[in-house]
Structure 1
Amino acid sequence: MLSYMQQYQQDRRKAPAIDEVADQTEAYFESLQLLERMHRLMLDLVKDEFERLGRHDLTPVQALIIYNLGEAEVTAGELRSRGMYQGSNVSYNLKKLVSMGYIHHERCDLDRRSVRVRLTESGQDVRRTVHDLFQRHAEGLAVSGILDDPPLDQVNMQSRRIERFWTEQIRYIY
């Protein structure tokens, strides 16, 4: 059995050095800033694509709501929990999308308080536009080799781990 001092020294050897922790902290802060900027840039890319096509009726957030809805029929709450609509009011945007004819909504038979939504044919067209934009970007990035170092699937796995950590932190608060 190890003495307390031996255990302490062994634990210190395993623990990252203070400089290493500081470096990881700085890298984490930089990642947070990059994520925020990338999200804003993604919204700008969607906006520019629709402007290029002469479509000025949708905001980028509305286009992403349509894209994330996809082929599914879900409740507004499910849609909100799936997406990232940076400070937007999902209920307001859904009402606008229904009034513009991009989304069909109806009350759920089992729970009349719940509203189920799905894309109309016009909504499917918008979804294809966003999908084609993302597809072109993915192909360009693949050809350039940007997605290979590190492999994007590893980056995604790390992002999912951070997402899970954040989710647990939020749940822990309540």
Structure 2
Amino acid sequence: MISPAPRDMRPQADVQALPDLADTTEAYLESLQLLERLHRLMLDLVKDEFERLGQHDLTPVQAMILYNLGGAEVSAGELRSRGMYQGSNVSYNLKKLVTMGYVHHERSDMDRRSVRVKLTQEGQAIRDMVHRLFLRHAEGLAMSGVLEDPPLEQVNLQSRRIERFWLEQIRYIY
């Protein structure tokens, strides 16, 4: 008598209970494209605001570093690890921001190799400018009803879940 082939012991999902994988995959890929476009559009909005106000010495990326830095005092490495800066050339942009007088830097007392950075008054003024821009946008979006369906809190929750999944994937590699 022939014995049956070994059975896969992993739990089997009820195929009918799963959403169509092709639709889910397509929606995920569309989300990735939207995230990228939204980020670029946000930088364009900052650029346009700066042009309108005659603020020509900063790039939108540098303005976002100032905005995200806020009142914190952090090391250059922490800028990336805390999600305050998403680019690969953080040292170049920090050097430019220090040179232009928007960021103050000093060596850490604990680790002389590490540099701590924080906003100067000029940097805080730029941060406030970007903050006012975002507040105006939030007001306009709220008045238009765009943020109601689904509620933005649910969209943010979903985004944080995707962020956690991606972080787990990165940690898994190492």
Q: CA RMSD in A?
A: 2.2
User: Which residue pairs with 2:14 in the alignment?
Assistant: 12
CA contact (8 A) 2:79 2:85 kept: no
User: Which residue pairs with 1:37 in the alignment?
Assistant: 37
Give the deviation of 1:62 after TM superposition. Answer: 0.2
User: Which residue pairs with 2:27 in the alignment?
Assistant: 27
**SS, match of residue 72 in structure 1:** coil
User: Which residue pairs with 1:91 in the alignment?
Assistant: 91
CA contact (8 A) 1:66 1:123 kept: yes
User: Which residue pairs with 1:58 in the alignment?
Assistant: 58
Tell me which protein shows more helix as a share of its residues: 1
Structure-2 separation of matches of 1:25 and 1:86:
25
User: Which residue pairs with 1:46 in the alignment?
Assistant: 46
Give the deviation of 1:80 after TM superposition. Answer: 1.6
CA contact (8 A) 1:74 1:118 kept: yes
Query: Residues 114-160 of structure 1, C-alpha deviation per residue, up to 9 Å, x if partnerless?
Result: 11000000000000000000000000000111111000011000000
Structure-2 separation of matches of 1:56 and 1:114:
30
**SS, match of residue 14 in structure 2:** helix
Structure-1 separation of matches of 2:14 and 2:56:
59
TM-score normalised by the chain length of structure 2: 0.90
Say whether 1:102 aligns with 2:97.
Answer: no
User: Which residue pairs with 1:74 in the alignment?
Assistant: 74
Residues 139-154 of structure 1 aligned to structure 2 (within 5 Å): 139-154=139-154
Give the deviation of 1:84 after TM superposition. Answer: 6.1
What are the ranges of 5 or more consecutive residues in structure 1 without an aligned counterpart?
none
Structure-1 separation of matches of 2:22 and 2:131:
40
Give the deviation of 1:78 after TM superposition. Answer: 0.7
Query: How many residues were matched structurally?
Result: 168
Structure-2 separation of matches of 1:12 and 1:30:
26
Structure-2 separation of matches of 1:11 and 1:103:
54
Structure-2 separation of matches of 1:12 and 1:34:
31
User: Which residue pairs with 2:4 in the alignment?
Assistant: none
Structure-1 separation of matches of 2:14 and 2:109:
60
**SS, match of residue 104 in structure 2:** strand
What are the ranges of 5 or more consecutive residues in structure 2 without an aligned counterpart?
1-6
